[in-house]
Amino acid sequence: MKKFLWLTSLVCLCCLVSRAQQEFDSTKENTSIGEPDSLFSSFSYELRDDNKILLRWRAQVSDSDDYFIVERSDDGNSYETVGILKRSGSDNQYEVTPSSSLSGYSFYRIKYVGSSNRVFYSQALQISATKNPTIKIYPNPVDKLLIVETDHAVVMQVINALGVPRLNVQLHQGLQVIDVSILDRGTYILRIIDSDHNRNILQQLVKN
């Protein structure tokens, strides 16, 4: 008798668990995550003044209730929402400028949310806020005075055809005028040693 009661209780428990599972499944949100870039035909950016970026993408969507969420991350893992854009027009081209400025490296991606709660993500873009440092040297050819504009400290060398440095000047941020009248007429190699960005810039310099 005890064995019969035990079996009956076990069957009832199994029925209750099965019913609860069915109810849970029926209330789950109908959301599916698409493969990255499965909806987006392109996703690119343009870095503008004041470290503002312009994000551009194309996506084939048709429902006017669909919308895009712009997400930003510092590490490529945890994202925050920085913009929302509704579907507009019929050319499937979109662009947006997030309100926040870039600082260092950031990751951006586009999240598409459809009217049926289907969700797709674009590929993530890693964007650096650091523009290429500015170094301008003119005129070239030069007579006596060489003008150099730089936004950070660099070293400038003028090297002759034998590989011997004829000038070696430490340049500071700003505009500086370098007297090159001691150089003979001819063609030289102008080397900029940019230690801050771990690079050397070489170009030809002609002395009149």
Q: Check which CATH number belongs to the domain holding 112 and give it.
A: 2.60.40.10
Check whether residue 51 and residue 84 sit in a common domain. yes
Report yes or no on whether pTM surpasses 0.85.
no
Q: Are residues 175 and 190 in the same domain?
A: yes
128, 149, 173 - which closes a domain: 128
Q: Looking at residue 93, what is its pLDDT?
A: 82
Task: Kindly state whether residues 115 and 173 are assigned to the same domain.
Answer: no
Number of domains in the chain: 2
Comparing 15 with 153, the larger pLDDT belongs to: 153
What pLDDT was estimated at residue 56?
85
Averaged pLDDT, 98-122: 78
Residue 105 lies in a domain: yes
| Domain assignment of residue 64, given as a range | 40-128
Give the pLDDT of residue 22: 43
Answer with the one of 83, 102, 128 that is the final residue of a domain: 128
Task: Flag the least confident range among 16-25, 48-57, 186-195.
Answer: 16-25
Q: Which is more confident, 208 or 90? A: 208
pLDDT band at 66 (very low <50, low <70, confident <90, very high): confident
> Which is higher by pLDDT, 155 or 62?
155
Q: 3-state SS string over the chain?
A: CHHHHHHHHHHHHHHHHHHHHHHHHHHCCCCCECCCCCCEEEEEEEECHHHCEEEEEEECCCCCCCEEEEEEECCCCCCEEEEEEECCCCCCEEEECCCCCCCCEEEEEEEEECCCCCEEECCCEEEECCCCCCEEEECCCECCEEEEEECCCEEEEEECCCCCEEEEEEECCEEEEEECCCCCCEEEEEEEEEHHHCEEEEEEEEEC
* Residue 13 belongs to some domain of the structure: no
Q: Is residue 187 part of a domain?
A: yes
Provide the mean pLDDT of the chain: 76
Residues 140-181 pLDDT 10s: 999 999 999 988 889 999 999 999 999 999 999 889 999 999
Q: What is the pLDDT of residue 29?
A: 33
Q: Which of 77, 104, 128 is where one domain is finished?
A: 128
- The CATH number assigned to the domain holding 140 equals 2.60.40.1930
Q: How confident is the model at residue 48 (pLDDT cuts 50, 70, 90)?
A: low
pLDDT tens-place string over residues 25-45 = 433 333 334 444 467 777 888
